[in-house]
DNA sequence: TTGTAAGCGTTATCAT
DNA sequence: ATGATAACGCTTACAA
């Protein structure tokens, strides 16, 4: 079933059919209705490929991201999808398992398929590869700070600010020994977190005792770290973990060792989780605006797509701030409980 | 940059370029290499749309699913994506928020875009709509049992078996008063769970006291239910919840009310979660093979795609069995701990 | 082994 | 308001 057959059965030319499809107002009402009827009757759907052959717009974008095991990434993907669908676009969700090879493979597939734009989450690809794609005229927006010094478009959470806020929260609660546990998989974010941590520490009213460790982001990573610290007698008074799962692991190990939270150990995480309110005590954590990040990024991408000049313009950056979800694991006594700016 | 320019620069005809692309063995090695060189030099990528205009294969499938808030769905999507990528296919991930309108919208978009096949997870669409799509010649495979009595292709978890196994586990531990808490959002699965529950109960050596309730699948749903039961003095000795979050909610409410688990209340869930091992005590739950389900379904879909006769053949069903992840929340004393068939 | 040319199903530019 | 018709970039008989 193609445009010609429809034209035949409606007793008009293919041009008229095309006009009914694309510029209905240019067709007389009677003809239009007749054509609509024939289309419906024959369940006619215009061929997407023929259409794009002349139109040069695929109404498809790619969202290339490292993994889908976190609610944060889900939220970002959600935000992207919402904006895209609003613009009648579809999203190729490409999850790379955090490997550069998969990312490269997907990127090439996306170029082949002429997507209108690409969103790259925490890209691990070298600048030249990105430039090559940009050189093909495909707008790209990055989520994360990497390459933000170059001519890129980036949207990201300000982790320096977030880490500083969280550290500050602990300082305000009076802790003078605060350690930081980083995530061994994270690269740029880890640097930012450390920077924010040290920034806040340097501004503390009294001198702080700080230290920085690294562990796997999993619950096991947290448990292992805690076991080691306990055995070495080096468990601090307060601890900031990079992931909620690390925090859960530490809490479990602490419970087994008879360490009370928050009386003996104050703990908080740079990442929130749906079960943060479930554990005992509920975990204080950084609450990142994932959905908003996804929406903002998608909007920036569509700005580039719809506005080619805008696309080739200089670097652009949007920075989003995270909030603190203050719960009980740090010993907070005030009755703020949640969502502290 | 198109095939003609490449042909020109390589000093051959467009047909030769096309052949290099699609049947390299039909081209002499020298020409072939020369063409490859020119292609690389000019960063040539064949136009996807022109290609599909003649080829009638989009190498794209759709995975339409209700939501992405559960790790199970993530696992299924993962499995689908893995198989698809293996076949050089891309996946449109379409999440419908569980609404029939979104599902219909996405389905129509997918038809427009000529996807080679569609996977529908827990479809809420009427049979006629599905038939319409199938009538267009697009292979469909369903995840879930709905419409399994009709001429459909379905892959699903056997929830009757899973519920029976879990109930049986509790019976074996000696509980004689077991209640079931269903998920108000679930439709078909809830019926199956109830059926399996009642089946196992009817086979118990001694007469069981059973009852069935319904609550929201969230933690709040579980808490609310528990509060009511406690106030009414009707909290049973053993409880099976439909979702892990419900179980967490019940556990939290129980803790607040001084009810010990598993000493006073044995609890288990039809759904597992990454934090089941974290809570105290670790939650016994049904562990569903999500990734495998996704892979099996995708394979069945590709069988249909590659084998049109197969596609129009009678209904086909693949049933996957879930396992029990036996932990501590039911009072299990044996040292099995995990993954009991 | 390579080239010629006819489609594939649209859109858009001219005419009428 | 409508109709011819030339693109769009590719694949594939068929011919050479």
Is the confidence at residue A310, as pLDDT, over 50?
yes
Q: Which residue has the higher pLDDT, A149 or B39?
A: B39
Q: What is the pLDDT of residue A283?
A: 95
**DSSP letter assigned to residue B283:** P
Residues A41-67 have pLDDT tens digits of 998 999 999 998 888 888 999 999 998
Nearest to B278 among A109, A252, A277 (CB): A252
Nearest to A109 among B90, B112, B114 (CB): B90
CB A30 within 8 A of CB A61: no
Residues of A in contact with B279 (CB under 8 A): 278-279
**HEC string for chain A:** CCHHHHHHHHCCCHHHHHHHHHCHHHCCHHHHHHHHHHHHHCCCCCCHHHHHHHHCCCCEEEEEECCCCCHHHHHHHHHHHHHHHHCCCEEEEEECCCCHHHHHHHHHHHHHCCCCEEEEECCCCCHHHHHHHHHCCCCEEEECCCCCCCCCEEEEECHHHHHHHHHHHHHHCCCCEEEEEEECCCCHHHHHHHHHHHHHHHCCCCCCEEEEEEECCCHHHHHHHHHHHHHCCCCCCEEEECCHHHHHHHHHHHHHCCCCCCCCCEEEECCCCCCCCCCCCCCEEEECCHHHHHHHHHHHHHHHHHCHHHHHCCCEEEEECCEEECCCCCCCCCCCCCCEC
CB B171 within 8 A of CB B178: yes
Q: Facing residues of B215 across strands? A: B183
Name the CATH superfamily for B60-157+290-321: Response regulator (3.40.50.2300)
Q: What is the pLDDT of residue B339?
A: 43
Q: Considering chain A, what percentage of its residues have pLDDT values greater than 70?
A: 96
Encoding tokens for residue B38?
């020119």
B164 phi and psi, to 5 degrees? -65, -40
Residues B126-167 have pLDDT tens digits of 888 888 887 778 899 999 988 777 778 999 999 999 999 999
Q: What is the pLDDT of residue A337?
A: 46
Q: What is the pLDDT of residue B338?
A: 44
- Residue A190's nearest CA partner among A245, A145, A138, A242 is A242
Query: Quick check: A78 and B68 CB within 8 A?
Result: yes
Q: What is the pLDDT of residue B274?
A: 81
Residues B274-290 have pLDDT tens digits of 888 888 899 999 999 99
Residues B200-233 have pLDDT tens digits of 999 999 999 999 999 999 999 999 999 999 999 9
DSSP E strands, chain B:
60-65, 90-95, 117-121, 140-143, 153-157, 177-183, 209-215, 238-241, 266-269, 284-287, 316-320, 323-325
Question: Is beta strand A284-287 parallel, antiparallel or unpaired with respect to A323-325?
Answer: antiparallel
**Cβ of B54 < 7 Å from strand C?**
yes
pLDDT-based confidence at residue B310 (cuts at 50, 70, 90): low
Q: Which residues contact B138 (CB under 8 A, 6 or more apart)?
A: B110, B111, B115, B116, B117, B118
Nucleotide nearest to A45 (CA to C1'): C9
Q: How far is CA B323 from CA A2, A135, A215, B340, in A?
A: 50, 51, 31, 6
pTM of the model: 0.88
Encoding tokens for residue B48?
């996807």
Q: Does A114 reach chain B within 8 Å, measured CB to CB?
A: yes
Pairwise CA distance, residues B341 & B321, whole Å: 9
Sign of the dihedral through C-alpha A43, A48, A53, A59: positive
Fold assignment, A159-288+324-339 = Rossmann fold (3.40.50)
Q: What is the pLDDT of residue B39?
A: 93
Q: What is the pLDDT of residue B150?
A: 77
Q: Considering chain A, what percentage of its residues have pLDDT values greater than 90?
A: 69
Pairwise CA distance, residues A52 & A58, whole Å: 6
Query: In A 273-332, which Cβ lie closer than 7 Å to strand D?
Result: none
Q: Considering chain B, what percentage of its residues have pLDDT values greater than 70?
A: 96
Q: What is the pLDDT of residue B148?
A: 75
Q: Does A109 reach chain B within 8 Å, measured CB to CB?
A: yes
Question: How many Cα atoms occupy the beta-carbon half-sphere of A322 within 13 Å?
Answer: 26
pLDDT-based confidence at residue A215 (cuts at 50, 70, 90): very high
Q: Considering chain B, what percentage of its residues have pLDDT values greater than 90?
A: 71
B310 phi and psi, to 5 degrees? -55, -35
pLDDT-based confidence at residue A301 (cuts at 50, 70, 90): very high
Query: Quick check: A219 and B255 CB within 8 A?
Result: no
Domains of chain B, by residue range, sit at 3-46, 60-157+290-321, 159-288+324-339
D11 C1': nearest CA residue? B54
pLDDT-based confidence at residue A328 (cuts at 50, 70, 90): very high
Residues A168-178 have pLDDT tens digits of 999 999 999 99
pLDDT-based confidence at residue A339 (cuts at 50, 70, 90): very low
Q: What is the pLDDT of residue B341?
A: 42
Is the confidence at residue A270, as pLDDT, over 70?
yes
Is the confidence at residue B99, as pLDDT, over 60?
yes
Average pLDDT over residues A285-293: 97
CB B38 within 8 A of CB B10: yes
Q: What is the pLDDT of residue B67?
A: 82
Is the confidence at residue A146, as pLDDT, over 90?
no
B60-157+290-321 and B159-288+324-339 in the same fold: yes
Query: In A 17-36, which Cβ lie closer than 7 Å to strand C?
Result: 17-18, 21-22
Pairwise CA distance, residues A87 & A82, whole Å: 9
Q: Which residues contact A47 (CB under 8 A, 6 or more apart)?
A: A2, B53, B114
Q: What is the pLDDT of residue B115?
A: 93
Chain B residues 287-316 with a CB less than 8 Å from chain A: none
Encoding tokens for residue B25?
């063995």
Q: Does B282 reach chain A within 8 Å, measured CB to CB?
A: no
Residues B171-207 have pLDDT tens digits of 999 999 999 999 998 888 999 999 999 999 999 999 9
Q: What is the pLDDT of residue A135?
A: 77
- For chain B, give the mean pLDDT: 91
Q: What is the pLDDT of residue A312?
A: 61
Is the confidence at residue A295, as pLDDT, over 70?
yes
């Amino acid at each position: 079933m193609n445009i010609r057959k429809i034209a035949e059965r409606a007793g008009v030319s293919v041009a008229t059919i095309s006009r009914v499809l694309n510029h209905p107002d240019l067709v007389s009402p009677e003809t239009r209705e007749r054509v609509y009827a024939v289309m419906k009757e024959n369940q006619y759907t215009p061929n997407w490929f023929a259409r794009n052959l002349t139109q040069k717009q695929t109404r498809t974008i790619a969202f290339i991201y490292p993994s889908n095991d976190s609610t944060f990434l889900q939220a970002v993907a959600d935000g992207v999808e919402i904006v895209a669908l609003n613009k009648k676009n579809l999203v190729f969700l490409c999850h790379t398992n955090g490997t550069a090879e998969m990312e490269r493979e997907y990127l090439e597939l996306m170029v082949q398929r002429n997507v209108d734009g690409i969103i790259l989450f925490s890209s691990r690809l070298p600048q030249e590869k990105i430039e090559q794609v940009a050189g093909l005229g495909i707008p790209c927006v990055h989520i994360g700070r990497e390459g933000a010094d170059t001519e890129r478009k980036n949207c990201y959470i300000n982790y320096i600010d977030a880490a500083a806020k969280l550290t500050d929260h602990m300082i305000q609660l009076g802790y003078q020994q605060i350690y930081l546990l980083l995530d061994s998989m994270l690269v740029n974010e880890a640097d930012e977190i450390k920077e924010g941590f040290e920034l806040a520490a340097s501004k503390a009213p009294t001198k702080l005792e700080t230290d920085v460790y690294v562990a796997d982001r999993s619950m096991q990573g947290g448990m292992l770290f805690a076991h080691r610290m306990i055995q070495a007698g080096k468990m601090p008074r307060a601890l900031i973990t990079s992931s909620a799962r690390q925090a859960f692991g530490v809490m479990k190990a602490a419970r087994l060792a008879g360490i009370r939270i928050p009386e003996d150990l104050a703990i908080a995480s740079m990442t929130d989780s749906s079960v943060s309110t479930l554990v005992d005590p509920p975990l204080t954590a950084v609450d990142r605006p994932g959905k908003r990040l996804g929406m903002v990024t998608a909007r920036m991408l569509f700005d580039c797509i719809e506005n080619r000049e805008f696309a080739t313009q200089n670097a652009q950056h949007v920075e989003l701030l995270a909030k603190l979800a203050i719960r009980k694991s740090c010993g907070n006594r005030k009755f703020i409980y949640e969502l502290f700016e």
